[in-house]
Structure formats: C-alpha cells, structure tokens
Structure 1
Amino acid sequence: MPNFTTRCIPNILSRVQSPTTAQSLRLSRGANRRLATGGHYVIPKPFNEPNLHYAKGSPERQKLVAALNNLRSRLPVQVPARGGPSSSRQDTTTQHVSMPMPSEHQNIFAQYASAAESDVSAAIGTALSAKAAWQNMPFTDRAAIFLRAAELVSGKYRYELIAATMLGQGKNAWQAEIDAAAELADFFRFNVGFAQEIYDKQPTVNSPGHHGRTDWRPLEGFVYAVSPFNFTAIGGNLVSAPALMGNVVVWKPSPMSVYPSYLVHKILLEAGLPPGVVQLVNGDAETVTKAVMGHREFSALTFIGSSDVFRALYAKAAEGIVAKKYRDFPRLAGETSGKNFHLVHPSADIENAARHTIRASFEYSGQKCSACARIYLPQSQATAFIDAMKRELTAVKVGDPEEFENFLGPVINQAAFDKITKAIDSANGDSQLERVIGGTYDGSKGFFIDPTMYVSKAADHELFDRELFGPVLVAHVYPDAEFDEVLDVIDRQGGNFALTGAIFANDQAAIRKAEDRLRWAAGNFYVNCKTTGAVIGQQAFGGARGSGTCDKAGSANLLMRFTAPRTLKEEYNKLDNVMYPSNLR
C-alpha cells in the first residue's frame, strides 16, 4: 500500500488540510462535482499490520531503544489542554497535572494542562463549525486520510508511539508493538473497509418503476469519545469509527494516556484530518463531561472504561433525555469491565492450557479488559495444570518494561497498586484460599506485582466476582463428573460481566456443550485459545451484561451506531387513479 496515495487518490487530497471551514466546504463541493464522473470508488483491501518481534540485535530493537532514549531525554513531556495547532486555539487553564511513570513513580512522565469548562465549550464549538465541510467531504477523501494515518503509524511514528506507550503505560516492547503500532494501524485500515461495507448496503429489491436508496447520514450533532489508559489504539478507534462516517468528535483520553493520545491526534492531523474534526481535550472528567452532556448537540457517547463509570454516564445522559435537553436521543456505545474465565476440560492439552492462561492472566499485568481472572480446573488435571503454571512461570520476569527480558511490567498507578495489593493481602490471610503462585509485590521503585494465583476451597468465593484489573487469578477445582454443573457456575459467576471466555478441550462434544450453555456468558468465546486473543478484522470485540453494549469494536456494527440512515424512494411512473381496483363496482 505505500503507493496508494499517488495511485488512487485524486489531487484534491493535497489540499485537504485547508485552514478554514469555508475553504474546506468549497473543496468538498468541487470534489462532489468531480466524483460525478469518477466512477465507483473501492478502497484497498484492509490487512493486519505485521508484528515486529524485537529480538536481541534486531534492527527494530535498535530503533526502539533510540526512541526510548530520545523520549527519556525530554521528560516530562508537556501536553496542552486541547490538542491541535496552537494557532487555532488558546488554552485558558492555569491548572497542570503531573503523571508519574508507572515503572519509576518518582519520575514524572507527562504534565498536562487541565481544560477549563470554557476550553471544552470552545472545543465543541470548533468541532461543530467543522461539521458541514467534513460530512460533505466525499468518502473517497475521508478514507484517504485514515489510510494515510495508518501508514504514518506503521512507519514514521511507529517507534515513537511504542516508546510513549512503554514509558507512559508500562507495557513491554511486545505488548506496546501489538497495541500502539499494529492494532492502531489495523483500526484505521479496517474501519475504512467497514465504512465502505455500510455505504454499500443499499436496497436490493425495487418494484417496477420504483427506486429505493439509503443515505447513510452522520449524526446531526457531535460524538463524545472517552478512551481508557490501557490501549493507545483504542483512542484511535473511538475517534476514527464515528469520524469516518462524517461525524465530528470531542475526545477525552484517560489522564494516564494523555501523551500517546496526543501523538495519535498529531498523526491524524499530519495525515490531512481537518483540524476541527477531532477535538482532543485533556482534563478533569467531571468538568469535561458536564460541558459535553449539557450541550444540545450531544448526539453520542463512545466509551471504553469501567462499568461503574459507564453507568454514571448513562444515567447522566438519561437525565438530559428526560429533561428534553438534547435534540436527539443520544447513542450510547460502551465496552467496559470483565471477570473473564478459562474452562479446562479433562480432555485438554494441559501444557497448552497453562501457557495460554499465563499469557491471558499476566501479560500487561492483567490490565486488559479481556484478561483471564478466573479458571475452572477438572480435579483429575488440577495438580498437573498448577505444576505446569509454576514451571512455565520460572522463566517469567517482572520489572522495568525497558528491559526486554521482562514479561510483566508495573500496574498503571498508585490507586491501582493499592487496590490490588490490598486484595492480595486479604487473600493471603483467607483460610478459604490456597496461594499457589505469587501473592507478593514491591512498590518501592515502581508499581510491580508478581503473577498471583489462588485455589479457592469455596466455589462461591467473592474473588470469582470481584474485578481487580491486575495479575491475580483465582481457580475452582471441580469433580470431572460435574462438568455440566460447572457450566452453570461459570454462567452465574463473574460479577455479572460477560466479556470474554475460553474452553480448553479436545472433546468436541464438550466444546459444543460449553459453546451452547455459555452462550450469554461471554461476547467473545475462544476454543483452545486465550481470552486475550481477538485480532481486528478476524474477531470483533465486545461483550454484554455488565460488560457493555456489545457493539463490537473491529466491525461495521460499531460504525453503524454513528449513522442516522435516511431512506429515499423515487417513483418513475404516474399514478392514474386514486381508487384501488377493490373500490370499483
């Protein structure tokens, strides 16, 4: 795809970074005239960005080390209250917030300006001013911008993004690679494909003399995007999905990911996104949300984070709806928490199941919404499974993400460290729990917690329902003959979350039974694969129950949520009579 821009995109794209709305609108109108004779535009086929492996002595490791050294020399990085060209806005805030580095909490990674309510209002106004030109820009041109952004992510900015994700969010090189480089590029490329898939959905049956069409309009107001700390790529998805469909977006990232998010926004602008379309706003969540949800033009929320926060936002939107504050009924799309499970059947390959469980439970210190946090082991295989876990974990190291041999890095901040270690201290003294792995931690330099696993004597222990978002796994050992019963237990447990789950088995009848009986227990279900196994374009991601609205990131479903389809019908024949044949005598 490196020659895509020169081969497929008309000359108008060289002017797409127009500084004013009026100029953009004139360009858009010109593009529409040109497209009248341009034929049907088909986007390049999306593909998954190949992962680099950072083996010792590899060119990519050398480039990443250089990027890490460069970033360290500039710490703390400074991030404005509002992203974008400084000439286009003026922050009014005087409040600045410091974010410690998770692996070295005495050092400050980023300092960001916290937006005042006036900053948020200005951002909303800027976005709405850009809306007409953006929604009238042909899909040809909107697609090109995000495809160009994917090339910048996978090329020019790859190592800078990965370095920012490693230092700011505590990911090791591999976890940062699959997130900030590969998955972010995948979201941009595949979302373009999903957008075309939606636009191509048109009526397939028309009566003689009739023609039906669907106008996939964007929403009439603006979209509010709230992204979490744990994936740089998620912010890119939350803004690209609605923006591709012609919407404008106000984007509030997590405080712990302000700098990587700032880089993503910078990349989009460099790729040609008109400055007003995505408004990046950093600051206090309550301040930003109050201004956003108090605005008549609030049309949608796209959110990834905790279930409790999503419920609070849902309630706030409902209050506005009841008060008739909004022109629209706002769309609310959320992917939230999980207490995800692995189920091991007696027929499973135990070594394989153990290795998958280590990755699912402990990669990125368990800070993935899809991480495995509870496991159900058959009595006949429990000892072998735990022994395999212990054996494999002897090679697993915990420490600074910049040291490439470390598998686990820190948890994200002091609050997370305190919550998880408090639960570990309680579990270590709980007579109903047997500690088989870990249960230790060290917060002297960074927020490091060792991989931890407990076996519960009680099938209904509260740890099977409580989300910790850390490297803590709890196991229930079930009698082999009670496989059917344990399916009911799994479905009932998990804190009412239903995000991801997996079964490990070689018995096809058991696999089929688990798939059927656990149909509602997980939005993503895996067979002989860890719960963190989704790949964009291959497995759309999202769960239901308390885990969200199941709109499936990485699919056309999510993008469709940010459309307001208009149905059009045209008749070519003439109506000769008011009366129907049945009315005539």
Structure 2
Amino acid sequence: MIGDQEHRTHLIQHQVMPHKHSHKLAKFYYATSELVQKAIETALQARVSWERVPLKDKFDMWLKAADLMAGKYRQDLNATTMLGQSKTIIQAEIDSAAELIDFLRFNALYAKEGTKWQPRSPEPNVTVNKLRLRGLEGFVAAISPFNFTAIGGNLAYTPAMMGNVVLWKPSDTAILSNFTIYKIMREAGVPGGVVSFIPSDGPVFGDTVTKSPHLAAINFTGSVPTFQRLWAQVGENLPNMRNFPRLVGECGGKNYHLVHPSADVTSVVNGTIRSAFEYCGQKCSACSRAYFPESLWPEIKEKLLSVQKELKVGDVREPDSFMSAVIDAKAFKRITGYIEHAKASSKTSIIAGGKYDDRSWLTAATEALKDSAGNFYINDKSTGSVVAQQPFGGARLSGTNDKAGGLQYALRWTSPQAIKQTMVPLTDIKYPYMV
C-alpha cells in the first residue's frame, strides 16, 4: 500500500501458520526497488500536508485507533497474531491488544505532556523564546520484527504521530496482524501517504532507503547483524544525505538470570521457565542464560525437570497449550543448532553466584551490573515489560535503548527548533557598557 494505491507484483509470497505449515494464512507481494522508491516520493509529497495537521488532531486519531483496537477490532488483532505468529491466547492478548493499545494511548499522552514545555522569556516585552517540534526532514524507515505485533504498530506509527512520514517494512511472518493495524489506523483517519505498508525483501528495502538522500531515520527492531549492516550502509551513503539520519534500534538480547543463594527456589524455577519458554523464548527480553549457585542447583534441577514435564507444547487454539511452534524454518534450524552444540560439548558446568550479605547483595549487584542491560529486574523474571511501567529498551549491542513505552520515545521522533523573536529594534551597535 503506497498512498491510497494497492500494488501487486510478480514476487508473490505467502504467510503460513507456524504450527501448521500446510495452511496458507495470507498472500502478499514483495515490493520492487522501484516501488520502494515510489513510496519515498509519495511520502515526501504527503509530508507537506501532514505537517500542517495540528498535533492535537493527530493525538485524537491515535486515541480513536486505540478505542477501535480495544473494542471493534480487538479479536481480529488477537486472532491474526495467534494464527500468524503462533502465539497462545494469553500471549496474543498481552501483545496485540493490551500492549499495542497502551503504546497508542500512552505515547499520545506523553507527547502531549512533552510538547507543553517552552523556553523561558525573562523579558517578554523585549524577546519571546519558543520551541517548535517539527517532524524530521525526509522520511522514516520502520523495520519491524515478527515477535510482537505491538512493536510493528509502535515502530511505524509513533514517528507518524509526531509529524513524520513513514515507510513500514513489516516482517514476512507477521504480515496479517501488521496489515490489520494498518487498516485500523486508516479507519482512524491516518492518510495513506503518511504510512506506506511495504512488504519486501530485506536487502532490497535496506539498499533503497539507505541510498536515498531523504532518509531521516531508521526505526528498527531485529537482529544485531541486520542493524549493523543498516548502520554501515547509512555511513557509506552519508556524504549524499541531507541530514545525519537518526538510527533507533532494538536488537536481540542475551538476557540472564543471576540467582543468589538466598533466593526462593520455587520463584526461581517458575520465573526462569516462564522467561525462557514464553513464546518459545522468541521475545526481546527472554531469558537465554541462567546462573545458579551451586548450593541450590540440586533442588533447582529437580523442580525444573518437574515443572517442565507439565508444560504442553501444542496448537495455539488449544487453551491449555503453554507454547507452540517457533516462527519459521530459519529459527528452527538455529535453535536445533544450539541443542546439537550442547550435546557435542564436553565443557558443561554450573556457575555459582557471588557471596554477599543478604541486606546489601541486591544493591551491590544492581550497581555492579548497571551497564549490563537496558532493563534490569530484581526478584522477577526478565519478560513482561508493561507500557508506562517499565519502558523497554536494550543497551550495549541489544539496541540504542530508546525506551519504547516511556516519556522520551515520542519526543525522539521530533526535530526541536529554538525560535527567538525580538520585539524591539536594535538601535545602537555599541554594547551598553560602552556608552
């Protein structure tokens, strides 16, 4: 979808159910590089009129969309996420309904509050100072992942809310749920030229947008290598660009659980299993490493094995399924590779925690590990960030840590301009002390 026009190409693709490969859920078309370029031109034309729409009116559109998602289209979002991305009932509700709605409502609220601030004008009769929040000059390329429907909506539409025009490349394995978002936002009043929906081959899309002199920003969630490649491509093309593009990235983490000897074993086991197994570990915040103290390992091991046997892997339409299939063959190959590596390795060991006082250990660990993660949870699992409660963002090579769901995220997509208006003429070239 480019502007108000639907395009079909010879590059036909299908989204299948991850838990039933024979079921083709959606048919879609890859955009050619020429169509991506057409989308850039359409966006630049739409930017002129979109910037003229008052922020208040944009906020109202986003709140209307949130209401549509909370009511009329709630189960459409849940169903397309369950079947297309193989999420269980509760995981789909948490993601495609609750979190997506929260993104829209809280981002509008935070943007409204954030735009109230103005610089001081100590002598308003002489000088009036103002701050105008403009959209970025050019277009934003939003590249979203499969694992959260809400992330797709946030990556594409938060920049748009702040006056930007967006080219949205959704994941091939989340096409149907993401297109549902696109249609809802159109119904809420967002013009077609503001956000173009462009399924496409990753390198084709990346090469085209990073070569454009009008690229204003990339809003990305995905793998570290992909983000590194995009960053390098932007760097190579920087001499031809009108701006320094803004790069915002959330990448796959290697999250850890660090367990102290004083920990409650049941909580440790339940938290670790839920963090590691929720949505088959296909979450930005999923636990992929756990460090257990040697003194607790026998009890932890026993409980881990006991709980694991109770968990059902099955079709997401069966209410008692704890998790279902991984997203696609590429993920399956990667994960089974880890398993085979573990089988072949002779270097397996248990790493014990440090020896600290129980009244000071958490404080010491929090301080010592402050640079290790963008989000840091104490006495809790590493998944389950809630919009407006735990703004989410990965640090180090896990991302640029821009805290989606927090106050500063919407403002990240503005280009502040300081305005000074002098109210009296300058009648003398000399400074006052020279008189």
TM-score (norm 2): 0.96
Q: Which moved more, 1:206-215 or 1:546-555?
A: 206-215
- Find 2:395's aligned residue among 544, 557, 567: 544
Output aligned runs, 1:84-163, within 5 Å. 88-91=4-7, 93-163=9-79
1:429 and 2:429 are equivalent in the alignment: no
Q: Who is 1:228 aligned against?
A: 145
Mapped partners of 1:527, 1:423: distance in 2 = 28
SS in 2 for 1:225: strand
What CA deviation, in whole Å up to 9, does each residue of 1:105-157 have, x standing for no partner?
A: 23222221111122212222222221111111011210111101101111111
1:477 and 2:351 are equivalent in the alignment: yes
Mapped partners of 1:544, 1:179: distance in 2 = 22
SS in 1 for 2:166: strand
Q: Who is 2:413 aligned against?
A: 562
1:348 and 2:263 are equivalent in the alignment: yes
Mapped partners of 1:179, 1:103: distance in 2 = 19
Mapped partners of 2:191, 2:77: distance in 1 = 22
Preserved CA contact (<8 Å) 1:92 1:119:
no
List runs of 5+ in structure 2 lacking aligned partners.
Answer: none
What CA deviation, in whole Å up to 9, does each residue of 1:60-115 have, x standing for no partner?
A: xxxxxxxxxxxxxxxxxxxxxx367xxx3252511101233210123222221111
Mapped partners of 1:284, 1:188: distance in 2 = 28
Structure 1 residue 573, shift from structure 2 partner: 4.1
Q: Who is 2:422 aligned against?
A: 571
1:83–1:171 CA distance, 2 compared to 1 (3 A): farther
1:243–1:90 CA distance, 2 compared to 1 (3 A): closer
1:358–1:205 CA distance, 2 compared to 1 (3 A): farther
SS in 2 for 1:201: coil
SS in 1 for 2:360: helix
Structure 1 residue 286, shift from structure 2 partner: 1.6
Amino acid at match of 1:197: E
Structure 1 residue 574, shift from structure 2 partner: 4.7
Amino acid at match of 1:477: I
List runs of 5+ in structure 1 lacking aligned partners.
Answer: 1-81, 434-456, 458-475, 485-505
| Larger RCO (CA under 8 A, 6+ residues apart) | 2
1:199 and 2:50 are equivalent in the alignment: no
Structure 1 residue 402, shift from structure 2 partner: 1.0
Output aligned runs, 1:119-518, within 5 Å. 119-204=35-120, 206-207=122-123, 209-321=126-238, 324-433=239-348, 457=349, 476-478=350-352, 482-483=354-355, 507-518=358-369
1:523 and 2:409 are equivalent in the alignment: no
Mapped partners of 2:246, 2:424: distance in 1 = 39
- For these two proteins, the number of residue pairs brought into alignment is 434
Mapped partners of 1:432, 1:232: distance in 2 = 38
Structure 1 residue 576, shift from structure 2 partner: 5.0
Preserved CA contact (<8 Å) 1:102 1:411:
yes
1:535 and 2:409 are equivalent in the alignment: no
Preserved CA contact (<8 Å) 1:296 1:327:
yes
Structure 1 residue 281, shift from structure 2 partner: 0.3
The share of aligned pairs that are identical, in percent, is: 43
Which runs of at least 4 in structure 1 moved beyond 6 Å after TM superposition? Answer: none
Amino acid at match of 1:358: I
Structure 1 residue 198, shift from structure 2 partner: 2.4
SS in 2 for 1:525: coil
Preserved CA contact (<8 Å) 1:360 1:366:
yes
Preserved CA contact (<8 Å) 1:523 1:541:
yes
Mapped partners of 1:224, 1:558: distance in 2 = 16
Structure 1 residue 577, shift from structure 2 partner: 3.4
SS in 2 for 1:394: helix
Structure 1 residue 217, shift from structure 2 partner: 0.8
Structure 1 residue 206, shift from structure 2 partner: 2.6
Amino acid at match of 1:523: G
SS in 2 for 1:93: coil
Preserved CA contact (<8 Å) 1:100 1:106:
yes
Preserved CA contact (<8 Å) 2:15 2:175:
no
Structure 1 residue 234, shift from structure 2 partner: 0.4
Mapped partners of 1:574, 1:108: distance in 2 = 71
SS in 2 for 1:543: coil
SS in 2 for 1:194: helix
CA-atom RMSD, angstroms?
1.7
What CA deviation, in whole Å up to 9, does each residue of 1:266-288 have, x standing for no partner?
A: 00001111111100101111222
Structure 1 residue 349, shift from structure 2 partner: 1.5
Structure 1 residue 381, shift from structure 2 partner: 1.3
Amino acid at match of 1:426: H
Mapped partners of 1:381, 1:563: distance in 2 = 50
Mapped partners of 2:51, 2:9: distance in 1 = 31
Structure 1 residue 425, shift from structure 2 partner: 1.9
Mapped partners of 1:549, 1:197: distance in 2 = 24
Preserved CA contact (<8 Å) 1:382 1:477:
no
Preserved CA contact (<8 Å) 1:92 1:116:
no
Mapped partners of 2:54, 2:416: distance in 1 = 17
What CA deviation, in whole Å up to 9, does each residue of 1:229-281 have, x standing for no partner?
A: 10100011011211111001000011111111111000000111111110010
TM-score (norm 1): 0.72
SS in 1 for 2:288: strand
SS in 2 for 1:408: coil
SS in 2 for 1:421: helix
